[in-house]
A and B are shown apart, each in its own frame.
Chain A
Amino acid sequence: MHFQGKVWKLGDHIDTDLIIPARFLNVSDKDILAKNCFADLRPEFAGDVRKGDILVAGVNFGCGSSREHAPWAIKAAGIDVIIAKSFARIFYRNAFNIGLPILESEEAADAVEEGDRLDVDLTTGRIGVVGRDRVFQAKPVPDFMRQIILAGGLVDYVKQKARA
């Protein structure tokens, strides 16, 4: 699985309230969630993000609430993959469950800058910076997780297993 896109760079401890503030949680419509993604942190995000863009963040990304609206807002906004130094536990589960790939790499998170173009190979965990001749190696995604992503998320994965 291969992704290429432009980087949005964020800091450490980006919590779910920053990803999608509670005032937008009275709906679960994914387009509305996407329109309000990072509403307080990066008000320009929803308007400027392009399909295939990549988020790069520091430690503990997605800490806080269990709200799955957070990874949904990011995915529906067009982000294809998130790279962070580390992810909070519930966000980690949620991202895989909805088929949003995430990778952990301290080196990439330190070196990559806003606006860089990345080339990400989910199978190998290889992260290349286009035109900068830099390559980083993320922790490979466990096979079980990759199967969930390949199936398009946990629901389809469970359905496939039920059929098998």
Chain B
Amino acid sequence: MTPMTLTEKILARHAGRDAVQPGDLIDVEVDLALANDITAPLAIGVFEGFGLDRVFDREKVALVPDHFVPNKDIPSAQQAKLMANFAARYDIEHYFELSESGIEHVILPEKGLVVPGDLVIGADSHTCTYGALGAFSAGVGSTDLGVIMATGRIWLKVPAGIKVVYHGRLQPWVGGKDLILKTIGLLGVEGAGYKTLAFSGEGIGQLGMDDRFTMANMAVEAGAKNGIFAPDETTREYMAGRSRREGLYLADDPDAVFEEVVEIDLETLEPQVAFPHSPENVRPVAEAGAVKLDQVFIGSCTNGRLSDLRKAAAILKGRTVARGTRLIVIPGSPTIYRDAIREGIIETLLEAGAVIGPPCCGPCLGGHMGILAEGEKALSTSNRNFIGRMGHPKSEVYLANPTVAAASAVTGHITAPDTL
């Protein structure tokens, strides 16, 4: 048998083939198709153009309004309504709004809708998040998604792989965000273009699922088609009792071929900060210098999970947010929000001076609830710091992990958590 990578194995199975290799154009079956309130309206238009009376499988389509909800204005309300009407008309099983919703890439794994070995395609670039579970997942646009809703299939090119090996012991205050920022800094934002980022090495075993979601989520920021982790015991524990379906626990063949291998030493890896206006513009937090911040945002599909809020609260406990700096915290889902209340995290954050937003994408993409004015600087735990990403084209966004974000909210400028 031809040796294959984990990604190649999943793609081959879904194409009904014994083997595939990089460059093959294949037609695959999709286990779950996802769209949100920005991308679904266009996809619905495409789907309706086919004149069908049903989607390919009402249990395999997930629709999550999360970008502009609770609706920020009349046009977004119209878009959300179009989506809700579509979900009702075609009896879509996985349609979630408000109290049962949250950020798509947070709630889909949380609700057990993705299992290891799945092939998930979403009309959102951060659909690659589910690679954390050992699934193949990739983002597409609305037309592709509309065609999938009709046919349940999509054509893909089999990507070549870049193996990223993390060696050694994780240092204090360092999390998945720092590993992926360092990786993007090394590869560049185009460095993994059209390829798979396969995360491996003994360093990975020290990471919980939240950190892995963060890393897979940002694979696309290096241009990758997908990012993936071989599912292990941590994955099994996460999946236990979560899904109606059994996962497929696959791994790279020992002699699987990767185009490139990148090695990163965790022993010397410090918390990282991506400077404006690119996620590749990375340097260690100790070298950030005194950057005065108008706003700090903790949340998003990258770092809005429970362990992220927990880490931020541990730093903010008994401290207060600096005068002149706004701290916005958005739990990624209602479940995370409730758990954070039970653990006392929310109270700690409120006492420190944070404002808590309802689970949604909010300020991450300059949607609502935290738009930046001209000249303002923000530190965000999200995944992108492009020009104008969070508001005014002359504002600046810095990316970092939740402990750096919390420490920076306390001092009002970019701060390493160990210096507080």
Task: Determine whether the beta carbon of A94 is less than 8 Å from that of B189.
Answer: no
Task: Determine whether the beta carbon of A66 is less than 8 Å from that of B193.
Answer: no
Docked complex: A40-83 residues within 8 A CB-CB of B: 40-41, 59-60, 63-69, 71-72
The yes or no answer to B233 lying at the interface (CB within 8 A) is no
Task: Determine whether the beta carbon of A159 is less than 8 Å from that of B50.
Answer: yes
The yes or no answer to A13 lying at the interface (CB within 8 A) is yes
Q: How far is the CA of A65 from the CA of B193 in the complex (A)?
A: 14
Smallest Cβ-Cβ distance to A158: which chain B residue: B147
The yes or no answer to A164 lying at the interface (CB within 8 A) is no
Task: Determine whether the beta carbon of B223 is less than 8 Å from that of A89.
Answer: yes
Known contacts A66-B141, A94-B143: A17-B193 contact under CB 8 Å = no
Known contacts A22-B366, A64-B384: A90-B75 contact under CB 8 Å = no
The yes or no answer to A132 lying at the interface (CB within 8 A) is no
Docked complex: A106-164 residues within 8 A CB-CB of B: 144, 153-155, 158-159
Q: B113-151 interface mask toward A, CB cutoff 8 Å, 1 = contact, 0 = none?
A: 000000000111101000000000001111110110011
Q: How far is the CA of A26 from the CA of B78 in the complex (A)?
A: 9
Interface pick from B56-64, B66-74, B245-253: B66-74
The yes or no answer to B302 lying at the interface (CB within 8 A) is no
Contacts of A23 in B (CB 8 A): 366-367
Task: Determine whether the beta carbon of B193 is less than 8 Å from that of A88.
Answer: yes
Contacts of A65 in B (CB 8 A): 124-125, 365
Q: How far is the CA of A155 from the CA of B150 in the complex (A)?
A: 11
The yes or no answer to A86 lying at the interface (CB within 8 A) is yes
Contacts of A71 in B (CB 8 A): 141
Q: How far is the CA of A40 from the CA of B394 in the complex (A)?
A: 9
Q: How far is the CA of A159 from the CA of B125 in the complex (A)?
A: 26
Smallest Cβ-Cβ distance to A15: which chain B residue: B386
Partner of B67, one of A25, A97, A98, A153: A25
The yes or no answer to B41 lying at the interface (CB within 8 A) is yes
Task: Determine whether the beta carbon of B139 is less than 8 Å from that of A66.
Answer: yes
The yes or no answer to B387 lying at the interface (CB within 8 A) is yes
Task: Determine whether the beta carbon of B141 is less than 8 Å from that of A93.
Answer: yes
Task: Determine whether the beta carbon of B190 is less than 8 Å from that of A21.
Answer: no
The yes or no answer to B408 lying at the interface (CB within 8 A) is no
Interface size class of B (residues with CB under 8 A): 35 or more
Q: How far is the CA of A86 from the CA of B193 in the complex (A)?
A: 9
Task: Determine whether the beta carbon of A97 is less than 8 Å from that of B141.
Answer: yes
Partner of A60, one of B39, B72, B189, B393: B189
The yes or no answer to A10 lying at the interface (CB within 8 A) is no
Q: How far is the CA of A59 from the CA of B189 in the complex (A)?
A: 10
Known contacts A40-B387, A68-B141: A63-B68 contact under CB 8 Å = no
The yes or no answer to B278 lying at the interface (CB within 8 A) is yes
Contacts of A63 in B (CB 8 A): 189-190, 223
Separation in Å of the B175 CB from the closest CB of chain A? 23
Task: Determine whether the beta carbon of B39 is less than 8 Å from that of A66.
Answer: yes
The yes or no answer to B45 lying at the interface (CB within 8 A) is yes
The yes or no answer to B291 lying at the interface (CB within 8 A) is no
Known contacts A21-B366, A63-B223, A68-B42: A89-B193 contact under CB 8 Å = yes
Task: Determine whether the beta carbon of B143 is less than 8 Å from that of A154.
Answer: yes
Q: How far is the CA of A64 from the CA of B124 in the complex (A)?
A: 10
Q: B88-101 interface mask toward A, CB cutoff 8 Å, 1 = contact, 0 = none?
A: 00000000000000
Q: A63-B190, A155-B46 are in contact. List 19 more A-B contacts (CB 8 A).
A: A15-B386, A15-B387, A17-B365, A17-B384, A22-B367, A25-B67, A26-B72, A41-B387, A60-B189, A60-B190, A63-B223, A64-B384, A67-B39, A68-B123, A68-B143, A88-B193, A89-B194, A93-B141, A154-B144
Residue ranges of B at the interface with A (Cβ–Cβ < 8 Å):
25, 38-39, 41-42, 45-46, 49-50, 67-68, 72-73, 75-76, 79, 122-125, 127, 139-144, 146-147, 150-151, 189-190, 193-194, 220, 223, 225, 278, 365-367, 384, 386-389, 393
> Which 4 residue pairs are nearest across A and B when measured between Cβ atoms?
A68-B141, A94-B141, A40-B393, A97-B143
- 10 A-B interface contacts by CB (under 8 A): A17-B384, A23-B367, A25-B67, A26-B79, A41-B387, A59-B190, A60-B190, A66-B125, A69-B42, A89-B193
